[in-house]
Amino acid sequence: MDFILMKTGMKKRLLLLRYLVKWGYRYTRQSLRNCVKRVLLPSRKPYYDPRLEFLGQYILHVTRIRPIWAITCDVRSSWAAREGAGSQAFQIMRTISFARASGLTYLHSPFSIIHHPDRPMPEWVAAWEKVFNLGAGEAPCDGLRRGVINNDYNLADLDLCFGWSERTKQPDNWFKALIPEFRRKYYLNKSPRTTHEVGIAVHIRRGDVSASQNNTMYTSTEKVLAISSAVKAMLELRGVANTIRVYGQGKLADFTELSPLGAEYFLDADPIWTMQELVEADILVLAKSCFSYCAGLISDGIKVFDPFGNPNADDVIIPPYGWALFSELDDWLPCQEDGSFDRVAFDHQLALLLQAKRKAGVGEPARQGG
């Protein structure tokens, strides 16, 4: 055991040394280039890389010149600003989780720029801030950077420098433990939906993904049909009245394969309204999408999803960035390649869902056909 610990510690030190050498070289090179720009090309903006900023802060931290005491998530870099609301909301959630686990203070930075706006940016980011309420109860970030690090999509660096790589699955467990808190924040300005029928929301990712791109984020319409049909069949087997709605991008003609579902379609709808529809559905069939993923995290309904990776593994990943691992033990139901899933686990969750509806005062969902 001592040998294993020593070997693990040596590996960590080597990785950290490689990180310091690699990014130290880039930090020095970029600093010199920015100095030249200021002298010869004063009109051009200096290059900014949040990873280089963190390196400087980390060096001050380990030398105890300026200890790091807080963390925020202020997405302003050109790459990160191309991310949508789901991706950025999840990044804030991860930052909160990192702060709690590492003993740092989380300081909230509101959304500043989010991709795919459908209105002026100030209104767009304010609307999303109101959807998630992730800053509720958190201290605001006042812009001061002394001892405050920024998780601008550089969590791998924070992970290495603060020792998460040695904690195996603990970060995932810490994140899962915070999900009720994120759900509570979401409902601070909303009331949970109560309906007699069981509502099924099916999210299909199109637009930026397609079969022709051979994109790993793509799920075929045929597979979506298989998953959704199986869900609907389970409800009808119980005689439970249900509604099924499809959310996504494109034209109705693009989804003719789904006609057997008898679904209602909401294509290219208001994204903020769509997020709330996905979160508050009784059953959510997720797409391989950060948008879907955030909705699934906040939702307390049944989640059925097409995993990235081996669906037979103990844990399966969604979406495919190693962000967090979920399994049937967490009430996330992964599908097989043919769209099938664990019907026993689904039936158990469905019984709990129907019981919760009765307790909420909406009664037993009406029986199908009468």
- Which domains can be identified in the chain, with CATH numbers? 49-187 (no CATH), 193-359 (3.40.50)
Q: Is 22 helix (H, G, I), strand (E, B) or coil?
A: helix
| 64 phi, psi to nearest 5 deg | 60, 20
pLDDT digits (tens), the chain, 370 positions: 444 334 455 666 777 777 778 777 777 887 788 787 777 777 777 776 766 778 888 888 888 898 999 999 988 765 666 789 998 999 899 899 989 988 899 999 999 999 889 999 999 999 999 999 999 999 999 877 789 998 876 777 777 777 655 555 566 788 889 999 999 999 999 988 888 899 999 999 887 666 666 567 778 889 999 999 999 999 999 999 999 999 998 888 888 899 999 999 999 999 999 999 999 999 999 998 889 999 999 999 999 988 876 555 555 555 544 445 666 667 889 888 888 999 999 999 999 999 988 887 765 554 554 4
Tokens coding 5: 């610990």
Residue for token pair 């992964």: 334
Tokens coding 158: 């924070």
Global confidence as pTM? 0.83
End-to-end CA distance of the chain: 65
Find, among 272, 98, 290, 136, the residue nearest to 205 by Cα.
Answer: 290
User: What region, left, alpha or beta, does residue 49 occupy, with left being phi > 0 and alpha being psi -120 to 50 degrees?
Assistant: beta
Task: Show contacts of 262-271: CB within 8 Å, 24+ apart.
Answer: 263/202, 263/228, 270/118, 271/85, 271/116, 271/118
Q: Per residue in 26-42, pLDDT tens?
A: 778 877 887 877 777 77
Which pLDDT does position 193 carry in this prediction? 82
For 326-338, give one letter per residue: b (16+ CB within 10 A) or e. bebeeebbbbeee
Measured distance CA(295)–CA(291) in Å, rounded? 7
Find, among 270, 316, 268, the residue nearest to 296 by Cα.
Answer: 316
| 245 phi, psi to nearest 5 deg | -125, 140
